[in-house]
Amino acid sequence: MKRIDFSLRCWTVLSTVFSIGLLFFLLGFVFIKAQGVISLNFLLAKPAGFPVGSAGGIWPAVIGSLLVTLIASFFATVLAFFTAVYSVFYCRHERIKLVINLIVQCIAGIPSIVLGLFGYAFLVIKLKLGLSILASGLTLAIMIFPFIQIRFQKLFLETNKQLLEASASLGINQSYTIINLLIPMYSKQILSIITLASGFAMGAAAPVMLTGCMMNAPVPKSIASPFMSLPYHLYVLIGQGISLENAYGTAFVLMILVLLLNLLAAVPTLLGMRGKR
Amino acid sequence: MQIFQEVSFLDFISGLTWNPLANEPAVGILPMILATFYVSIVAVLISLPIGIGCALELAALENERLKGIFTSILGVLAGIPSVIYGFIGLLVVVKFFETTFMFATGESILSGGIVLAVMVLPYIVSSATETMEKSYKKYKETSQALGVSKSYMLRALILPNAKGAILTSMILAFSRAMGETMAVMMVIGNSPILPKLLGKGETIPALIALEIGTAGLGSLHYHGLFTAGFVLMMFLIFLNALFYLIKKNLTEHLE
Amino acid sequence: MKHHLILKDLSVAIGTMEVLKKINLAISEYKITAIIGPSGCGKTTLLRTINRLIEEEKQVRVSGEVLFEGESIYQKPLVKLRKDIGLVFQQPTPFPMSIYNNLAYALKYHGVRDKVSLDKTIEAKLRLCGLYEEVADHLTMSALKLSGGQQQRLCIARSLCVGPKILLMDEPCSSLDIHNTKIIEDLIVNLSRDYTIVIVTHNLQQAKRIADCTAFILGGKLMEMSNTEAFFTNPQAEETKQYLQGLFG
């Protein structure tokens, strides 16, 4: 008996240590190896050399990644917000709600590469958006839409019903209640959900490589121009064996950006926790 | 879907050769389907024991603060871009096989499985913890009142009770693994042959990602890739629906 | 005496359960009407039917008539009706914002925009509810930091801000201590000079203390309704007698 219990504890503790250690391994690995490469120059210069990327920096990729993430988060948030509000507050038929939830679940199940295919066939070719930031941004928006919608919906569903009724008892309609009561009330959570989602969008390579990402492009001039993105740049650097050093550097920058977004997402919750104590 | 005017559906999913550009084009994606399943199964098999162990520990962790830290670490792990996993996989796992075991090439189904295992780990843990935590809280006091140790309770009560949770987390991890593109593509070798554990393979997402750029618009090749994507999507939507239904059932059961 | 609110054969069913059965009730203007009865007898449902909050729930069927100032409540726009008939809940429901904004929230919606008249109305209502002195210096403080009794008075003030004619109160004191209950009871008596008040309570003493009329509901049926003194000293219906004795004895 004792021995089984002991080995069980060993198993669970070791697993936990392993999982936690993984993160530190990943971070440490990239950070240590990237030390020599990272400089302001690397960050702010254009890729150069032959083949492209073997020298120079990653500035266009940083800007491209940020822009495409911004577009994706914007469209996904708008769509997700209205879907969630509709299904929680306005929709009166259980069946329609079920259908909405099922569709969102299905979108969540579509692999990112298939979304890329869709973006390519529909946005790039059918709608003639061309290989562009806009097309990529919209494709990423579809990818993170379920992530945001599911969390918004959960947030709204958990609202204290009495608050809504109190607002209704003052003779106030739904949309005023949502704009002036719910949004201010949940502003922290909403922001943190969006930030987390944009972290996912930023790291995705598969959808953008089919819809507008290039191996080498200048800092984009408009949302209709092709662009560079960090994850794809990293993939090209390593996949085609162009430059290992620069790959480390790119991985480092990408990781820092994503970690930063994760951290930002956690800030409101941490602040909220302190307020409660 | 125009492809089925030229090739029957059965031939498409059971064909062994993928060579859409030859004089007599062949578009069979069976090797890719098998490879996709193979890597995903390997990944889940590696990841599951670690994930469940970690979930048990987290579910029974009394220190709320520590638990919060662990959960956010797992969140960060889930948030790390797949390209980075692929990158590190290539430099660590693949290299490890090449230098330690003197393989000609470390790019294999097994490498893909290991990298994927790391990637799906946070999903397994968070999904399993959620349910286990509920049942732990529910039975904690009753069990303590019987004078039973914590690890006995975990082993005799929580673990058997969490079969459903383990199943759902497996499905979730499996569907994540199947849909993953970049990380797998970077370490698996990408040759459209029947997969072996230590040999190269090519998954459906990798196939699409690698070839869509060169496929002529509207050609058989192009349609073949789209249909491959469609087949993959069907698998995943099925898995996701299954996950959603089982989970709904489970939570209702627990409350 | 004018009847402000008249209920005619009002029945409400939720799902397969009949909650209210053919209620006939006339509520007089500027009076406090108490509605008493055991838990689950349909008191709360009655209030929720009057300001049509009941429609937010699923599978609700309402039959019969509710006349407000001689007009069916179903002929008025919903928003106007709820503006005229306010509801105060059992649990205080302050919004998670500052005290000032809690009150300004509804005022702004109903078209009061300029700062001066906002301030004026808010001060007046806070004074009316005896809250002004207590919170005058902390109007920007979160309303959630107020005590339970203060929160409830804030909610009453908030309801008053939109200028209702009838105030429905659903056990407004049941989550408060004796001291705060006393404050709110005094407030209610005060308010009855300008507002018609319907208060649901399970506290017979409270009904006795403040109400002009008392109605007794049992199992969804109206058993008896008369002025409070007569109701407690000389109940007519057998059920009322038993109910009063049951709780006193």
Model pLDDT for residues A11-58, shown as the tens digit of each residue: 888 888 888 888 888 888 888 888 877 777 888 888 877 777 777 788
pLDDT digits over B122-181, tens only? 999 988 888 888 888 888 777 777 777 777 777 777 887 788 888 888 888 888 888 888
H/E element, A47? strand A47-48
Say how far apart CA C221 and CA C46 lie, in whole Å. Answer: 11
Contact A121 B179 (CB under 8 A): no
Question: How many degrees, rounded to 5, is the angle at CA A124 between CA A121 and CA A128?
Answer: 115
Report the C-alpha gap between C93 and B251 in whole angstroms: 30
pLDDT digits (tens, 9 = 90+) for A158-197: 888 888 888 888 888 888 888 888 998 898 889 989 998 9
Grouping H, G, I as helix, E, B as strand and the rest as coil, residue A171 is: coil
Q: What is the pTM of this model?
A: 0.83
Interface residue of C76, C88, C109, C158 to substitute, partner A, most A CBs within 10 Å: C109
CB C75 within 8 A of CB C159: no
Mark yes or no for CB contact A11/B53 under 8 Å.
Answer: yes
> Where in chain B does DSSP place strands (E)?
18-19, 26-27
* Of residues C54, C85, C90, C83, the one with CA closest to residue C68: C85
Q: Report the relative pairing of strands C32-36 and C213-218 from DSSP bridges.
A: parallel
Note whether C89 contacts A166, CB cutoff 8 Å: yes
User: Could you tell me which of C116, C124, C180, C185 has the C-alpha nearest to residue C148?
Assistant: C180
Contact: C53, A184; criterion CB under 8 Å: no
Count residue pairs from A and B with Cβ separation < 8 A.
182
Nearest-neighbour CA in chain A from C97: distance (Å): 8
CB proximity C26 to A under 8 Å: no
Question: Count H helices, E strands: chain B?
Answer: 12, 2
Mutation target for C interface from A162, A169, A172, A188: give the one with most C CBs within 10 A. A169
pLDDT at A276 over 50: no
Q: What does the mean pLDDT of chain A come to? A: 85
Give me C113's structure tokens: 């925009």
CA A194 to chain C, closest CA, distance in angstroms equals 22
Least confident segment among A99-113, B15-29, C97-111, C174-188: B15-29
pLDDT band at B253 (very low <50, low <70, confident <90, very high): low
Tell me whether residue B13 is in a domain: no
Q: Which of A160, A170, A183 to mutate to test the interface with C (most CBs of C within 10 A)?
A: A170
Where helices occur in chain A by DSSP H, the ranges are: 2-34, 40-44, 59-85, 94-109, 112-118, 133-157, 161-169, 174-177, 183-185, 187-203, 206-211, 230-239, 244-276
Q: Which domain holds residue B179?
A: 38-203
CA A116, A120, A126, A128 dihedral sign is positive
Partner-chain residue, chosen from A210, A235, A259, that has the shortest CB–CB distance to B76: A259
The vertex-B26 CA angle with B20 and B32, nearest 5°, equals: 85
Residue of chain A nearest C164, judged by CA positions: A170
C171 vs A268 pLDDT, higher one: C171
ipTM summary value: 0.84
- Whole-angstrom Cα distance, residue C218 to residue C196? 24
CATH number of the domain residue B174 falls in: 1.10.3720.10
Cα separation of the two ends of chain A: 42
Local structure of B169: helix, strand or coil: helix
3-state secondary structure chain C: CCEEEEEEEEEEEECCEEEEEEEEEEEECCCEEEEECCCCCCHHHHHHHHCCHHHHCCCEEEEEEEEECCEECCCCCHHHHHHHEEEECCCCCCCCCEHHHHHHHHHHHCCCCCHHHHHHHHHHHHHHCCCHHHHHHHCCCEHHHCCHHHHHHHHHHHHHHCCCCEEEEECCCCCCCHHHHHHHHHHHHHHCCCCEEEEECCCHHHHHHHCCEEEEEECCEEEEEEEHHHHHHCCCCHHHHHHHHHHHC
**pLDDT value for A78:** 95
Q: What's the CATH code, domain A62-228?
A: 1.10.3720.10
User: Does B touch C (3+ CB pairs < 8 Å)?
Assistant: no
Chain A residues inside the 8 Å CB shell of B230: 114
For A18, nearest residue in chain B (alpha carbons): B50
Contact A172 C51 (CB under 8 A): no
Tokens of A235: 């993939």
Set of chain A residues whose Cβ sits within 8 Å of the Cβ of C108: 180
Rounded to 5 degrees, φ, ψ at B130 are: -50, -50
Answer yes or no: are the C-beta atoms of A68 and A227 closer than 8 Å: yes
| DSSP β-bridge partners for residue A227 | A213
Mean pLDDT in residue range A133-155: 93
Q: In which element (H, E) is residue B235 found?
A: helix B220-254
CA-based nearest residue in chain C for residue A161: C93
Q: Distances in Å between the alpha carbon of B117 and those of A204, B9, B120?
A: 18, 32, 5
The sign of the dihedral angle between the CA atoms of B229, B231, B236, B237 is: positive
> Which of B80, B182, B237 lies nearest to residue A235, judging by beta carbons?
B182
Is residue B33 assigned to a domain? Answer: no
Subunits that touch chain A (at least 3 Cβ pairs < 8 angstroms)?
A: B, C
* The predicted structure's pLDDT at residue B42: 92
Q: What pLDDT digit, counting tens, does each position of C198-243 carry? A: 999 888 889 999 999 999 988 888 888 888 988 888 888 888 888 8
- Domain assignment present for residue B4? The answer is no
Give me the residue from A22, A199, A234 closest to B83, CB to CB. Answer: A234
Residue C161: pLDDT over 80: yes
Candidates A69, A107, A114: best to mutate against B (most CBs of B within 10 A) is A114
Residue A175: CB atoms within 10 A of its CB come to 11
Which residues does A50 contact at the CB level (< 8 Å), separation at least 6?
none
Residue B5 lies in a domain: no
Q: A183 CB near a chain C CB, below 8 Å?
A: no
Interaxial angle between packed helices A133-157 and A94-109, expressed in degrees from 0 to 180 and rounded to the nearest 10: 130
pLDDT tens string A208-237: 888 888 777 787 777 788 888 889 888 888
* Domain positions in chain A: 62-228
